[in-house]
Amino acid sequence: MLRNISLKLQSGENLAILGPSGSGKSTLLHLMGTLDTPTTGTITLGDENPFTLDEPQLAHFRNRRIGFVFQEHHLLPQLSALENVLVPCLAEGTPNEEMVSRARSLLDRVGLSERLEHRPAELSGGERQRVGIARALIHTPSLLLADEPTGNLDRTAATGITELLVQLQQQEDAILVVVTHSIELANGLQRRMELDNGNLRDA
Amino acid sequence: MTSWRLVIRSLTFHWRVHAAVVLGVAAATAVLTGALLVGDSVRGSLRGLVLDRLGKIDALLISPRFFRAELASELAAKPAFTARYDQAIPAILFPQGTVENTTDDRVTRASRILIVATPNSFWDLDTKAVRPKVVPGEDEVVLNEPLAHELGATVGSTITLRLPEAANAIPAESPLGEKEDRVRGIPGLEVVAIVPADGLGRFGLTPSQSLPMVAFTHLTTVQNSLRLDGQVNTIMVSSLAKEPSPNADDCLELNRLLDPRLADYGLSLSQIRLPRMEDNSTPNNAIPDYTSLTSDRMILDDEVADVATNAFAGFSAQGVLTYLANALVPLNDQGQETPDGGIPYSTVAAVDSRAQLGPLLDAAGDPLPPLGDDEIVVNSWVAEDQNLTTGARLRVYYYLPETTDRQPQETYRDFTVKAIVPITTPAKPFSGKRPAVYDKPPTLANDKDLTPEVRGVTDQDSIENWDTPFDLERNVRTQDERYYDQHRLTPKAFVSLSTGQSLWGSRFGDHTSWRISTPANLPDNDSQAFRQRLEDAFLQQAEKSQARLGLAFQPVKWQGLKAASGTTPFDVLFIALSSFLIAAALMLVSLLFRLGVDQRADQLGLLLAVGVPRTQTARLLRREGTLVAAFGSLLGVALGIGYAWLMLAGLRTVWLGAVVTPFLVFHASTVSLIAGYLLGILVCSLTIGHAVQRLKKIPARRLLAGLASPEPQHHAARSKWGHKTSWCLLTIALILAAAATQLGGEAQAGAFVGGGAAVLTGLLLLFRQRLESVSAGSLDATLSLSRLAISSARRNPGRSSLTVGLIASASFLIAAMSSFRLDASLEGAGGFESIAESSLPVFVDLKSAAGREELLGADASAKLADSVIFPLRVQPGDDASCNNLYSAQRPRVLGVPTALGAYFDQAATRFSWGPTLAETDAEQKNPWKLLDRPPQDGAIPVVIDQNTAMFSLGIYSPGSYATFNYDGVQLDLYVVGFLKNSVLQGNLLISEAHFQQSFPEIAGHRYFLIHSPEGQTPAAPLLEDALSDQGFDARASRELLDSLLAVQNTYLSTFQSLGALGLLLGTFGLATVQLRNVLERRAELALLRASGFQHRRVGRMVLWENLFLLLGGLGLGVLAALYAVMPHILLGDAAISANRFGRDLAIMLALVVAAGLLTGMIAVRWTVRAPLIAALRGD
């Protein structure tokens, strides 16, 4: 599905990948997020090739180094906003005070300091996505991956989310890769590339 | 935020689906707990019956002999007894009596009745207040309800008891043993009360849940009628309330407290004074008196002889065997008998002479050297009468020592006269009780007491007055009567003890007396003290062999409670019978849990995406599942009580055949409730764990997309493999069917069912391939609503195949089980149409024409010329058949005559055999011959019905060893073969020869196999009439076999019923699958509605889909079941009829289709009620 893709990104850099449905945008994102394994070629983050790791090590790698933001936000409906942000911390056991404090801080930074105890059903679409962004950043990831993060939002909310994503990525000095249909969202990022028939080229 | 908090939040948030899982878990736990409680109830009820039927009776001493009733009062007076025990009540028990009720010249008879003769204090032992309104006095009787019902007797009726003659008699199967008139009737007993079959009203000696028939009368009634003044055969002992029931060791202590006298063993020690001179002076100071140990049964049995040998080892003692010779006939030089016929009816003593005792001493007073095997010594009277000198040949005619015929079989042995001992003729002969009086010194050979006393013989004044069981056919001469007048039965000849024992020793014993030398010239007081010394020595020695001598307590209550643990672990059995129900419930748990997981697949995907390891994610789900299981199991335990109650109700009604009597009451133990709870949690947690395990194979991105199924794989390779496998299985089915035609019984049913299972598996594989191939291919151009529904079912081939497989397996199992149903066949009874049992032994040889003529007369016996009757010996014991739920501690033993084995060399109909140890051709053709094998390591060959062996005795293969104890007689057995589904179920079958060696006391026959050719006079009614006094009772073997097979058949019905219940539960699983399908496709179903499909039309499509799976499953299952069952129907197997199979199938199909439709309707309703817009958006 993906052919001859070569891409190198530095810390603090952000990239929008555009392309029509079925072009392989999500597949590329899943590969970068280690949710899928490439049949050929390698992907490294820093000096580390995650695909040489076994299952538990890979999970730990993903937990510490990669943050995901999904179009469907995938918040756990039974948990509050604060608890949702802390979900990745469960991989290491019970979150400590430091983590709880960081979760609060992140929610504050995404503008939800007043909505910590609200459940997803009590939040708007934009607010849910903000919680999703905070959750993605809980472990200060090197790589932040966003799959159509504004796909379910209205224009105003979408703009706000785009700005927030970039702002936080810059603050955290992470790499941000966003796959999207939205030109507007793509225009808010430093680099734009297009995926067409499995080939990645500058847009 | 902790992982536990997440688990709790998830539980509460998804409570609806978890509530459904809870119900599934509760169903599984209810079935498991219910099965354990059924086990509790069976054991508890069996225990309850033991406690009820024995009341306060803890230990029983039941002796084959009668003993002094004072033995009980002496025991009760001992401080060691009163410290622990309450009462010791003397009684007479006859476990095999016959009772008759005569009304308007019609006699109603009940045989094998327990007759209980006790003092009135017996009723104080009851613990359930079942005391009769009127306790029986002399000539009165109380009946329990089953017996009164059987006899049609009411209060005021007059009945007759028929009992065996007192047991202290000469063994019936010795020549002098009485074979007739051994039954004594006690007529004119008034029924003064009828007690319910409860408490002591169901008093019985053997543990069985069947209602016993018991007649209670007063002790004196039986004592007076049987001339047993002050004698009993039983002591009943009850413990003090605070004391536990005595066990086997306690009974040994109790035995030690008994103070039996010699008379209690039926023995006596008497001082034998040698004949005195007219002036009462001692004839010869060198000739001492002696003390003689004799038995009131004429013969000292081996146990007594062993005790005597040890007890009198320090004395000058000798054993003697004196036997009746029918004739002593001299032989001439040519070895021919002299023409005058010799001397009739003389006794010959077998004894090895000893110093002081003689009786054969030489001139110096020393004992004669032992006689050779063919040497004999005769007294001077014989020598003179027959002109015999030393070296002459003498032929001794005698009856064989063991016989079942009234006229015993005669044989002879030739001897050489070694010596002639003098005998003195008295001056005055015997007269009445006055001994002979001598004017010349008598010799030691003048000892009439070498011959034991025999009532009707030794007490008669002349030979012609002898009352013998056989005819005195030989001519008794004047001089023979004169010898009898002068010497009575003083032996006329002597042989060595070993020679005598080889000729006349028998299973009843090989001594008639034991002679102990008395110190010379003891004054009377001292001789009495000497006898006491001998008695003490004997009793001291006897204490070690009390059980073998018949005076030992049995801890009946302790044994009964032990036996109440049962032959069949009903909890395990009901878990097995409910296995499909449990499987269905677990499948439901799995489906429901997975449904819940499917609904939040994306959440699980999220956890994986953010780096929560799969193992940890799975652990979170398992925790959730375990908590759900814990709660569901709690509910299940409560429901389990209801389930157990329902099962017990079933066992009391529709499944009564499995337990014979509706005796079960609900019992529940804390252990079972806890075990059921934990078991429920365990199996449900494992099931949920298995469901979670599947999730590990699903990639995170699929889960994130809301897909909870693994990646679609390329089916080509699997399809090819599946295709080959399907055809392989169908070929195997054909091979099994072909092989089955060469088999019989359960093996044939097994082959057909195995074939059916192969067909089912093959068809299911083909079905799945068909689903997969179409799902991978193109849509049909001719799309209709039903085709759309079917193609929807094909969207998830695995899930649909699982559903169809479940329903198909269930319907196959339930329907195919019919082929294992057993009906009584003549093979099960070896071709014998009737089986008879008698209360009392029958001594007539019913297998011979002569015996039948003797019993029935010439005319009637001629009608039975072609009938075949085989009498078997019986050692009473526990019923070890499937009809008895108690564990058999000592199963009944039947002695199989060699003639029966020989009969089956030619018989047209034979017993069906399971595995045997047959090696030779002859053994393989007729495995009864295995019984004639010699003992192996001391163990006797035994044949057992397979069901009895496996389910009652825990013996699983021929070649196994088993040991049982029958009141001191240890029976070591090794199993040589299993009978299959036979009417002989519940018995141990050993050869008659081994039987007689093991149970020498048992005389006569009490079990009969009867075959009368078709169209000829049936033998059974004629025999019932002729042997009514013996309580001869015949039953059609088919009827008897039916009652035995009813247990297995009822279990099959139970399995089928519970399986059907499981199938119903399985339809809920179908509904779950349907809901999952609908849930996954809610958007497209909503699209149909948005496109203008009416609710009804969408609903019909969902229903079609449901029906496709339901009918597909039922169709495949029924097809495979038909394959398994049809051969039975086509082969005309009586065990399964097309009607019955059709009926079972129709009921099951109707139930399942109805339940399936109902659950389908729920799915439809849910579909059409879903909000359109939300569904379109996929929310």
Q: How far apart are CA B787 and CA B789, in angstroms?
A: 5
- Say yes or no for a CB contact (<8 Å) between A87 and B605: no
Number of CB pairs, chain A paired with chain B, less than 8 A apart: 94
Phi–psi pair at B966, nearest 5 degrees: -115, 90
The rounded distance, in Å, linking the Cα atoms of B479 and B490 is 14
Q: How far is A83 from chain B (nearest CA, A)?
A: 6
What tokens does A129 get?
A: 């996505």
- What distance in Å separates the CA atoms of residue B660 and residue A69, rounded to the nearest whole number? 71
Q: Do B611 and A135 touch (CB under 8 A)?
A: no
More confident residue, B766 or A118: A118
Tell me the CA end-to-end span of chain B in Å, nearest whole number. Answer: 27
Indicate the angle between helix axes B579-599 and B1037-1080, nearest 10 degrees: 0
Q: Where are the beta strands (DSSP E) in B596-722?
A: none
Tokens, residue B377: 């010594």
- Picking from B764, B871, B839, B872, the residue whose alpha carbon sits closest to that of residue B1112 is B764
Q: Tell me how far apart the alpha carbons of residues B699 and B626 are, in angstroms, rounded to a whole number.
A: 24
User: What is the DSSP pairing of strand A143-147 with strand A175-180?
Assistant: parallel
Let me know if B670 is exposed, middle or buried by CB neighbors in 10 A (0-12, 13-18, 19+): exposed
Name the CA radius of gyration of chain A, rounded.
16
Helix/strand number for chain A, H first, E second: 7, 6
Q: For residue A138, give the chain B residue with the closest CA.
A: B610
Query: Could you tell me which residues come within 8 angstroms of residue B639 by beta carbon, excluding any fewer than 6 positions away?
Result: B26, B27, B29, B30, B33, B34
* No. of helices (H) and no. of strands (E), chain B: 35, 28
User: What residue spans of chain A are helical by DSSP H?
Assistant: 25-32, 55-65, 81-86, 97-109, 125-136, 155-172, 183-187
Closest CB to A90: pick one of B6, B605, B614.
Answer: B6
> Are the beta carbons of A33 and A51 closer than 8 angstroms?
no
State the smallest CA–CA distance between residue A184 and chain B in angstroms: 25
Cis bond upstream, residue B136 (ω within 30): no
- Residue B1179's pLDDT is 46
Identity of the amino acid at A14: N
Residue in this structure with the two tokens 């906003």, named with its chain if needed: A81
Superfamily holding A14-40+50-202: P-loop containing nucleotide triphosphate hydrolases (3.40.50.300)
Question: Are the beta carbons of B217 and B116 closer than 8 angstroms?
Answer: yes
Q: Which two tokens stand for residue B613?
A: 């390891």
Specify the amino acid at residue B371. L
- The residue type of B204 is G
* Under 8 Å between Cβ of B212 and B144: yes
C-alpha triplet B331, B337, B343: angle, nearest 5°:
90
DSSP state of B296: T
Domain ranges of chain B: 49-265, 267-545, 826-1038
C-alpha span between B236 and B244 (Å, rounded): 16
Strand partners for B413: B396
- Dist CA A70 CA B1037 (whole Å): 80
Sign of CA dihedral A72, A76, A77, A79: negative
- Interface pTM (ipTM) of the complex? 0.89
Q: CA B988, CA B969: separation in Å to the nearest integer?
A: 15
Say which of B10, B613, B701 has its CB closest to residue A59: B613
Tokens of A144: 């932040």
List Cβ neighbours of A76 (8 Å cut-off, separation of 6 or more). A83, A84, A87, A120, B6, B9, B10, B603, B606
Q: Which residues of chain A neighbour B606 with C-beta distances below 8 Å?
A: 70, 74, 76, 87
Contact yes or no for B615 and A56 at CB 8 A: yes
pLDDT of residue B783: 52
User: Which residues is B1142 bridged to in the sheet?
Assistant: none
Tell me the shortest Cα–Cα distance from B698 to chain A, in angstroms: 11
**Single-letter amino acid, residue B1141:** F
Angstroms from B1109 CA to nearest CA on chain A: 34
| Cβ contact B606–A76 (<8 Å) | yes
Cβ atoms B468, B344 nearer than 8 A: no
- How far is it, in rounded angstroms, from Cα B1134 to Cα B1137? 7
Query: What is d(CA B974, CA B110) in angstroms, rounded to the nearest whole number?
Result: 36
- Give the gap in angstroms from C-alpha A62 to the nearest C-alpha of chain B: 5
Location of structure tokens 């390698």 = A42
Q: What is the structure's pLDDT at B177?
A: 77
B874: β partners? B894
CA angle centred on A113, ends A108 and A115, rounded to 5°? 135
Q: Do B701 and A62 touch (CB under 8 A)?
A: no
Which 3-state string (H, E, C) describes B780-820? CCCCCHHHHHHHHHCCCHHHHHHHHHHHHHHHHHHHHHHHH
Dihedral of CA atoms B522, B524, B527, B531 in degrees, nearest 10, equals: 170
CB-CB under 8 Å, A62 with B610: yes
The predicted-structure confidence for B1148-1170, as pLDDT tens digits, reads as follows 778 777 877 787 777 777 766 76
Token pair 């359960």 is at which residue?
B746
Query: Contact A87/B3, CB-based, under 8 Å?
Result: no
Q: Are B902 and B870 within 8 A, CB to CB?
A: no
Under a CB-based contact definition with an 8 Å cutoff, are residues B192 and B140 in contact? yes
What confidence score (pLDDT) does residue B781 get?
47
Distance CA B1022, CA A98 (A): 102
Q: Which of A68, A70, A83 sits opposite B1 (nearest CB)?
A: A83
Place of tokens 């991105």: B701
Residues of A in contact with B616 (CB under 8 A): 90-91
For the cut 90, the answer to whether the pLDDT of residue A106 exceeds it is yes
Evaluate if pTM is beyond 0.80.
no
- Residue numbers in chain B where pLDDT is lower than 70: 166-168, 179-182, 275-288, 404-407, 520-525, 547, 567, 711-720, 741-749, 773-789, 793, 818-820, 1079-1080, 1127-1141, 1144, 1167-1168, 1170-1179
Phi, psi values for residue B88, rounded to 5°: -135, 110
The separation between CA B414 and the C-alpha centre of its own chain, rounded to angstroms, equals: 49
Asked if the C-beta of B12 comes within 8 angstroms of chain A's C-beta atoms, the answer is yes
* pLDDT per residue as tens digits for the range B764-820: 888 888 877 654 444 444 556 666 667 776 777 777 777 788 778 777 777 777 666
Cα pseudo-dihedral B699, B705, B711, B715, rounded to 10 = 180
Q: What is the pLDDT of residues B1037-1085, one digit of tens each?
A: 988 888 888 877 787 777 777 777 777 777 777 777 777 777 667 777 7
pLDDT at B785: 62
Residue A74 near chain B (CB below 8 Å): yes
Interface of A with B in 78-107 (CB under 8 A): 78-79, 82-83, 86-91, 93-95, 100
Look at A76 and B1 and tell me if their CB atoms are within 8 Å.
no
Cβ partners under 8 Å of residue B500, min gap 6: B321, B323, B348, B349, B350, B351, B510
Judged by a CB distance cut-off of 8 A, whether residue B1174 touches chain A is no
Indicate the Cα dihedral angle B816, B820, B823, B829, nearest 10°: 160
Nearest CA in chain B to A32: B609
Angstrom distance (rounded) from CA B1095 to CA B480: 119
Torsion of the alpha carbons at B692, B694, B700 and B705, rounded to the nearest 10? -90
- At residue A42, what are phi and psi to the nearest 5 degrees? -135, 160
Closest CA relative to residue B85, chosen from B218, B235, B265, B264: B235
Distance from CA of B1171 to the nearest CA of A (A): 18
Q: Residues 6 or more apart from B693 whose CB is under 8 A from it?
A: B618
Task: Quote the CA–CA distance of B107 and B1139 in Å, as a whole number.
Answer: 42
Interatomic CA distance for residues B564 and B570, integer angstroms: 12
* B1019: its two tokens: 């033998």
